[in-house]
Amino acid sequence: MKKIFNMILLSSLLLIPTYKEVTLVENQNIKFIKDSRINSDKKIKNVILFIGDGMGPNHVDAGNIFKGSPLTFDKVDEKWSYHAYVNTDSLSSEAFKLDTSKSLIRPDLNQTLYKGSTNGITCYTDSAAAGSSLATGKKYTNSSISLDIEGNEVETTLEIAKKLNKKAGVISSDQITGATPSTFYAHCPTRNDYKEILEDCARSKADLVLCKNKSTFKNNKEYYENLYKENGFDKVIYNKKDLDSSSSRLLGLFDKITTKDNDYRVPSLKELTGFALDFLDNENGFFLMVEGAYIDKQSHAHQGGMMLDELMAFDNAISLCESWCQGRDDTLIIVTADHETGGLYFDSSKANKDNIDTQIKWLTGGHSRTRVDLSVYGDISSFIECYSSNFSTLEGLPYWDNTDVFKLCASYL
- 191-239 pLDDT, tens digit each: 999 999 999 999 999 999 999 999 999 999 999 999 999 999 999 999 9
According to DSSP, the residues that pair with 84 across neighbouring strands are 374
Residue 25 in any domain: the answer is no
Residue 71 in any domain: the answer is yes
For the stretch 106-136, pLDDT in tens is 766 777 777 677 666 678 899 999 999 999 9
Residue 27 in any domain: the answer is no
| Alpha-carbon gap, residue 57 to 319, rounded angstroms | 19
Residue 191 in any domain: the answer is yes
Residue 21 in any domain: the answer is no
Domain that holds residue 150: 2-16+33-369+379-411
pLDDT(8) > 70? no
Residue 374 in any domain: the answer is no
| Alpha-carbon gap, residue 49 to 240, rounded angstroms | 23
Domain count, the chain: 1
- For residue 109, the model assigns a pLDDT of 72
Residue 26 in any domain: the answer is no
**Which DSSP string corresponds to 370-390?**
--EEEEEES--HHHHHHHGGG
pLDDT(3) > 50? no
E strand residue ranges, 7-45: 21-26, 31-35
Residue 396 in any domain: the answer is yes
Helix (H/G/I), strand (E/B), else coil: 69: coil
Q: What is the largest CA-CA distance in the chain?
A: 60
pTM of the model: 0.91
Contact 126, 142 (CB under 8 A): yes
Sequence-separated (6 or more) residues with CB below 8 Å from residue 226? none
What single-letter amino acid sits at 24? L
Of 375 and 363, the one with more pLDDT: 375
- For residue 371, the model assigns a pLDDT of 92
Residue 17 banded pLDDT, cuts 50, 70, 90 = very low
Q: Which region holds residue 256: left if phi is over 0, alpha if psi is between -120 and 50, else beta?
A: beta
| Alpha-carbon gap, residue 178 to 184, rounded angstroms | 11
CATH of the domain at 238: 3.40.720.10
Secondary structure letter of residue 282 according to DSSP: -
Residue 102 banded pLDDT, cuts 50, 70, 90 = confident
- For residue 44, the model assigns a pLDDT of 96
How, if at all, do strands 80-87 and 397-401 pair? parallel
